[in-house]
Amino acid sequence: MCYDFLTKDQVKAVLDRVLTWQPQRQEDVAEFLMSIEAQDNSDYRLSEQLAELRRRRAETNPKTFTLAEFDERSRRFGL
């Protein structure tokens, strides 16, 4: 199921259903939502990394490495 946009009423309906779940599952949801809040309140942003990721994904002919090339390059950096 994929939602493009949920109305406030739809969000409230989902949260009401969550209250009928087992306590452990409710705890899981609460932890997940609190982690989202913490991310929103964080000073850290991944905007530059996200822009780079989008740029690379948009490349029509991205450079790829064989596993051997990757291993060789990794060793140069001590990985």
Who has greater pLDDT, 76 or 4? 76
Write down the domain spans for the chain.
7-79
pLDDT for 44-68, tens place per residue?
777 888 888 898 888 888 778 889 8
Paired tokens of 76: 């140069």
Per-residue pLDDT, averaged over 18-30, amounts to 97
Expressed in angstroms, the distance from the first to the final Cα of the chain is 40
Is pLDDT at 1 greater than 60 in this prediction? Answer: no
pTM above 0.85, yes or no: no
Q: Which two tokens stand for residue 18?
A: 């969550």
Q: Region 10-17: what's the mean pLDDT?
A: 95
